[in-house]
Chains A and B, each alone.
Chain A
Amino acid sequence: MNRLLPLLGFLLLAALFGFGIHWSRAHDPREVPSPLIGKPAPAFALPRLDDPAQRAGSADLRGRPYLLNVFGSWCLACGEEHPVLMAHAGDLGVALVGYAYKDDPRDTRAWLARHGNPYTLVVVDADGQRAIDFGVYGAPETFLIDAQGVIRYKHVGVLTPAVIADELRPAIAALDAAP
C-alpha cells in the first residue's frame, strides 16, 4: 500500500491538471475582467482605410450594434484569425468593423487585398494612440458594442470558431433580449 501512495498522489495531481486544462479552455487565463464591459465605448473618430481624408467613428456607428475587431497586418495571430472572420462575418448579424492597429495603411490595404476583406468598414489607428482608451494591449482583440454605444463583450486573442459559437453568438443574441 505504501508503495502505491506516490502513484495515487500523482493521479490526483493529474486530475487537477486535467481540470486546469478544461478550465483554461473555458476561461482565457489572461482574461482580465475588463472594466469597460457595460460602459460606453470610448469615443473615437479615425481616418477610414478606403478614404483617409474622411473620418469615421463611434458617432457614425451608433444606432446599430457592431463588432470592433482590432488587427494588424504585422500580427501573426491575426493571420490565424482572418480566415475565421472571412467565414463568419456574413452570418453574425452585426456589422464587423476593422480597427487597423499600429499598422501602415499601405500594409493593411495590401494585406486585405491578398487575404480578402471581411470588414464593412476599416478605421486606421496608425500609431495606436486611440486604442489605449479601449485598453487594447495586443492584437487581435474584439469588442461587441451595442446600439447605444455600450461595450457588451470583449475577447482578447484569436476568435476561433469555438469562441464564436460559445461566447460571441450568445453575446449577440443577448443584445436583442436586453432592452
Chain B
Amino acid sequence: MIPELAQLALILALLLALAQGVLPLFGAWRGDRALMAVARPAAYAQALFAWLAFALLALALLRLDFSVRYVAANANLAQPWYYRLAAVWGAHEGSLLLWIAILNLWTVLLARRSRHLPEAFAARVLGVLGLIAVGFLAFVLFTSNPFARLSPMPLDGNELNPVLQDPGMVFHPPVLYTGYVGFSVAFAFAVAALLGGEQESGQERAWVRWARPWTNIAWGFLSAGIVAGSWWAYAELGWGGWWFWDPVENASFMPWLVGAALIHTQAVTEKRGALGAWTLLLSILAFSLSLLGTFLVRSGVLTSVHAFAADPRRGLYILGFLIVAVGGALLLYALRAPRLPAGKPFATLSRETAILVGNLMLTVAAAMVLLGTLFPLLGDALKLGKVSVGPPYFGLLFPLLMLPVVLLLPFGPYLRWGRTEAGALRAVAVRAGLAALACALLATALTDGAARAVAGVAAAAWIGVGTALYAYNRLRAAPRGRRFPAEMAGMLLAHAGVAVFVAGVLLSQNLSIERDVRLAPGQSARIGEYAFRFDGVRLVDGPNWKAEQGTLTVSRDGAVVAVLHPQKRLYSSERIQTEAAIDAGALRDLYVALGEPLDDQHIEHAWTLRLYYKPFIRWIWCGGLLMMLGGFVSAGAKRLRAPQPVAHGAGLAVAAAGAP
C-alpha cells in the first residue's frame, strides 16, 4: 500500500510541477497576474508530495519492505538502520529521488525569499524550476521507478554495496547534490532574464544581484560535497589516493570550475555592469554541466568505478532532456543575449581584467576535463579503438592551466574596479614573492629538493602571504565594524583555501611514502621516523560483517604514537571490503591497509600489509572546506540578502534604479 501511495505522490508532484512550470511562464508572458500567482502554491504543493515520496522510500527501506524491488536490491536484514537509510541514495532510482527532493528544497526556499522580486520575474524563475522538476519527475516515473514491486517477494534482500557502507557515504551524496542542484537556481535566473528582457543594458545588474547569494551557496555546497567524496575515496577505497580523475568525479568537478568562474563574473556584472553575456552563459553552463554529469553517470555511455545501473533507455531519455533544457537555454541565449558590450571598457590593470583572465582559465580547465572525460567516447566515434586518458593527461594540463590563476590570486583584493595603480601591486608582488622564495628555500632544505613539493610550498606562500597581507592592512586601516564586509571576508577565506589546498596537494603527492611489507606478528617495518609493529590479526564481528582485524602499534623514538586496526570485512552478502586504518594528523596521516594472509588457513600468522606515510594530506580537504566557507560567508552579505523593496508590479525599472 505504502509504495503505491508514494507512486501516487510522485504522479501528483509531476502534475503540480507541470502547473508550476507552464502556467506562471504563460502568465508572465501575457501579464496575467492570476496565472503568475500559481507559481508559489504549486511549488509548495509539489515539494510536499515529492518529499512525501522520498520519506516513504526511506520508510520502506527502514521497514525492509522487500516487496519493493529497490529495497530488495539495496538492503538486507543484517544492515544497520543508518545504512538502510543511506540506501535511499545508494542506487540509481533513489538518488534521483534525492535529486528531486533537493530541487524542491531550493525551489521552496526561493519561493519564500523572492517576494521582493518583480512579480513577473519571480514567476518566470519559479516556472523554469518547475520545468526542470518535470524533467526529473518524468525520468523517475517512466524509466527509473523506485517503487516498482517485486513478485515474489524475497525473504531477504541484496545488500547495499559495502563500498557505500561508510559514514562518508551517508553525507556525501546529499551535500554534493545540494550543490549540483543549487546551480539550477542560477540557471533559472539566467533563463528568466533572457525570457523577460532583463539581460539588456541597465537591468542586468539587478537580476545578477538577486542570483548571487544562491550561486555562492550552491558552490559552497558543491565544494563540501566534493571534499566529502574525496575523503570517502581516500578512507574507503584503500589505495590511499584522494582523487582519480574518474568520470564521476569529473562530472562534479566541471560544474565546480564553471561555478567558480560564475561567482566571479557575477561580481563584475553586478558592480560594473559588464560581462553580462558571459554571466548568462556561465549560469547556463554550470547547470548544464551538472545535467551532463548525470547523463554521463547514468547512461552507461562511460563506465567508471561508480557503477550505476546502465540502461540505454535512460540514456536516451536524459539525452532528450539535455537537448531540450540545455539546447533550449543556449538557443535562447543565441537569440537574446545582449548584442552590445555593456559597461566601460576594461583597463589592463583592473579587477575586471584579472577576473576575466582567471575566468577564462577556469572555463578552459573545465573544457579540458570534459575533453578528457569524453575521450573514450571520441575514440569509439572516430574509430581510434579503445582510448582513454588518465591522470597523466589531467595531471599535466590542469596545473598548467591553473598556474595563471595562482599567479593572479594574491592581487585579487588589491585590484580596484576600473583602474589600479601599478605601484600598489608592485609592493604586494615584492613581499609575496620574497615570502614565497624564503619558503621555497626552507622547503628545499627540508625535502631534499623535491622540485614539485618546493613549487607547491612557494605557490601556497605566494597566495597565502598576499592574502594575509591584505587582511592585515585592512585590520589596521579600516574602521572597526567595516573591516571585513561579508563579501570580502568570503573572498579572503576562499583564496586562503586555495593556498592551503595547493600546499596539501603538492606536498602529499610528492613526499608520500608507500611500502608493501610482509610481517609476522611481532615484526616491525619502518617508514621514516615511524616504526610499525604488527601485533597479529584476529576475528571481530560487526553489525552485518565479520572482519579479520589487524593490530599495528606505531611508535616514534620509542614512544607509541597510535594503535591502528585495519580490517578486511566479509559482509553478509559475501562481499569483501577493505577498511584502512588511519591515524590522522594536521601534518601527516599514517595509513595502513591489510593485504592477504600468507597462509589462508592460518590468519594468525604473517600478512602482507600496505603502509603509507602521507604528509599534509588533510590540507587538501581543509583547503576545500575553507573555499566552502568562503562561498557561504560571502552569500551572507547584507547588501545581497535584503535588497531594496520593490512595489509589486512596479516593474523592473525600479529595481534596476535601486541597484548600487
Chain B interface mostly: helix
Q: Which among A6, A13, A23, A79 has the greatest number of chain B C-beta atoms within 10 A?
A: A6
Query: CA A18 – CA B315 in complex, angstroms?
Result: 9
Would you call A6 and B281 a contact (CB within 8 A)?
A: yes
Choose from A10, A11, A74 the contact partner of B158 (Cβ within 8 Å).
A74
Question: Which of B281, B285, B326 has the largest number of chain A CB atoms within 10 A?
Answer: B326
The CA-CA distance from A4 to B336 in the complex, in Å, is 11
How far, in Å, is B179 (CB) from chain A's closest CB?
22
| A18-76 interface with B by 8 A CB criterion | 18-21, 23-25, 29-30, 74, 76
In the complex, chain B residues whose CB is within 8 Å of the CB of A7: 327, 330-331, 333-334
Q: Is the CB of A74 within 8 A of B374?
A: no
A30 to B303, CA, bound (A): 8
Interface members, chain B 371-389 (any A CB < 8 Å): 374, 377-378, 380-381
Residue pairs across A and B with CB atoms within 8 Å: the count is 82
Residue of B nearest to A76 (CB): B73
Q: A111–B316 Cα gap in the complex (Å)?
A: 34
Given contacts A16-B374, A30-B303, A74-B154, A10 and B334 within 8 Å (CB-CB): no
Q: Is the CB of A76 within 8 A of B331?
A: no
- Distance (whole angstroms) from the CB of B338 to the closest CB of chain A: 9
Closest residue of B by beta carbon distance from A17: B319
One of B124-132, B293-301, B535-543, B642-650 at the interface: B293-301
Closest CB of chain B to A172's CB: distance in Å? 24
Q: Residue A14 contacts which of B277, B281, B322, B337 (CB distance < 8 angstroms)?
A: B322
- Report Cα–Cα, A23/B382, bound state, in Å: 12
Give every chain A residue within 8 A of B381 (Cβ-Cβ).
Answer: 16, 19-20, 23
Cβ of B150 < 8 Å from any Cβ of A? Answer: yes
- B141 CB–A CB distance under 8 Å: no
Chain A residue with the shortest CB-CB distance to B318? A17
A-side interface size class: 20 to 34
Which residues of A lie under 8 Å from residue B347 when comparing CB positions?
A: none
- Given the interface pairs A3-B333, A16-B374, the reply to whether A76 lies near B327 with Cβ below 8 Å is no
**Alpha-carbon distance between A3 and B276 when the two chains are bound, in angstroms:** 13
For B552-563 the 0/1 string (1 means CB < 8 A from A) is 000000000000
* A23 closest partner in B (C-beta): B380
- Which residues of chain B have C-beta atoms less than 8 A from A20's C-beta? 299, 301-302, 315, 377, 380-381
A16 to B158, CA, bound (A): 36
Give the CA-CA distance A42 to B331 in the complex, in Å.
Answer: 58
What residues on B are CB-neighbors of A13 within 8 Å? 292, 374
Give the chain A neighbours of B277 by CB distance below 8 A: 3
Contact A21 B69 (CB under 8 A): no
Q: How far is the CB of B384 from chain A (nearest CB, A)?
A: 13
- Given known contacts A6-B281, A10-B288, A16-B381, is B319 in contact with A24 (CB within 8 Å)? no
Q: Quick one: closest B residue to A115, CB to CB?
A: B152
Closest to B380 in A: A23
Given the contacts A3-B277, A3-B337, A29-B310, A17 and B301 also touching, CB distance less than 8 Å = yes
Closest to B331 in A: A7
- CB distance B312 to A25 under 8 Å? yes
Contact partners of A19 in chain B: CB under 8 A: 377, 380-381
How far does the alpha carbon of A80 sit from the alpha carbon of B73 in the complex, in Å?
Answer: 13
Q: Which residues of B contact A79 (CB under 8 A)?
A: 150
* Residue pair A16, B378 in contact (C-beta under 8 Å): yes
CB–CB A21/B281 < 8 A: no
Chain B neighbourhood of A4, CB < 8 A: 334
Does residue B323 face the partner (Cβ distance < 8 Å to A)?
A: yes
Which residues of B from 145 to 161 have beta carbons under 8 Å from A?
A: 150, 152, 154, 158
Nearest A-chain residue to B152, judged by Cβ: A114
Residues in A with CB closer than 8 Å to B333 are 3, 6-7
Cross-chain contact A14 with B323 (CB below 8 angstroms):
yes
Closest partner residue, chain A, to B72 (CB atom): A76
Kindly list chain A residues whose C-beta atoms are within 8 Å of the C-beta of B152.
Answer: 114
Q: How far is the CA of A82 from the CA of B323 in the complex (A)?
A: 36
The CA of A11 and the CA of B288, in the complex, are separated in Å by: 13
B287 to chain A, nearest CB (A): 13
Contacts known (A10-B326, A10-B327, A74-B154); A16 close to B303, Cβ less than 8 A: no
Given A14-B322, A29-B310, residue A21 in contact with residue B327 (CB < 8 A): no
A3–B380 touching, CB < 8 Å: no
Do B319 and A21 touch (CB < 8 A)? Answer: yes
A114 to B72 Cα, complex, angstroms: 19
Report, nearest first, the 5 A-B pairs whose CB atoms are least far apart: A20-B301, A7-B330, A21-B315, A4-B334, A3-B334
Q: Interface on B for A, CB 8 Å cutoff?
A: 69, 72-73, 150, 152, 154, 158, 277, 281, 284-285, 288, 292, 295, 299-303, 310, 312, 315-316, 319, 322-323, 326-327, 330-331, 333-334, 337, 374, 377-378, 380-381, 574
Residues of A within 8 A of B (CB): 3-4, 6-7, 10-11, 13-14, 16-21, 23-25, 29-30, 74, 76, 79, 102, 114
Subset of 18 A-B contacts with CB under 8 Å? A6-B284, A6-B333, A6-B334, A7-B327, A10-B326, A13-B292, A13-B374, A16-B381, A17-B299, A17-B315, A19-B381, A20-B315, A21-B315, A23-B380, A24-B312, A24-B315, A30-B303, A74-B154
